[in-house]
Amino acid sequence: MSQFTLITGGSRSGKSSFAELLAAHSASPNLPVTYIATAQIWDEEMASRVKKHQLQRPAAWQLIEEPLNIRETLLKLKNDEGVILLDCVTLWLTNLLLAEQPEQTHQAGQTTPQFDQSIYEQIEVKILTIVQEAAIIAQEIKPIVIFVTNEVGQGIVPENPLSRAYRDLAGRCNQALAKKAGRVYWVIAGLPMEIKKPAETLLSSLHKER
């Protein structure tokens, strides 16, 4: 079985706390944990969030701050003993999406991403390919790999095209990751549920009935 695990759920559902417990357990007693942080600090709110995450995980864990090049980072660690914990996928996708977007400069000096549907469709294919490649690497390399992601499509429909495009991209990328993961957990109200095995059993039975 693949040593790649995907953990998903809503905002403040307890995903990161569960992922850290799982990583610590998987690493015991002597294996190291490498924590890949995809967040970029742009304001005080994000700085506060990052600080809280830093305080709740063991100081002995190795930290790699990498907002974009996850495939390359996994390949560098492919022969290491231990556990890799990436938190989180959706921030990684945000970074990839915004890195591909042209910017429009306003008179006030601020910049906001433009949105062009035809350009986005090309960007989506590119990013989805990157994620699929990362999923294959996570599935095949020597370390235990844990990815944390978010279910961003369960709230209200976003009001602007770029946000809607991001919602769709996140959903498709989560599906690609779940397909390659050996285990998938859904976390709600701090309680994790393993969902891949029951889902595969159900899908298999449905295909047999066709």
The reply to whether 189 sits in an annotated binding site is no
From residue 43, give the alpha-carbon distance in Å to each of 48, 54, 62, 77, 147.
Answer: 9, 17, 24, 30, 25
Give the H/E segment covering residue 94: helix 89-100
Say whether 65 counts as a known binding-site residue: yes
Amino acid at 53: H
168 assigned ligand-binding residue: no
Give me the active site residues, please.
53
Distances (CA, A) of 199 to 185, 186, 195, 205: 11, 12, 6, 10
Q: Are 133 and 70 in contact (CB under 8 A)?
A: no
Q: Is 28 annotated as a binding residue?
A: no
190 is in an annotated binding site: no
Ligand-binding site membership of 87 (annotated): yes
Residue list for the binding site: 9-16, 37-39, 65, 87
Residue list for the binding site for GTP: 9-16, 37-39, 65, 87
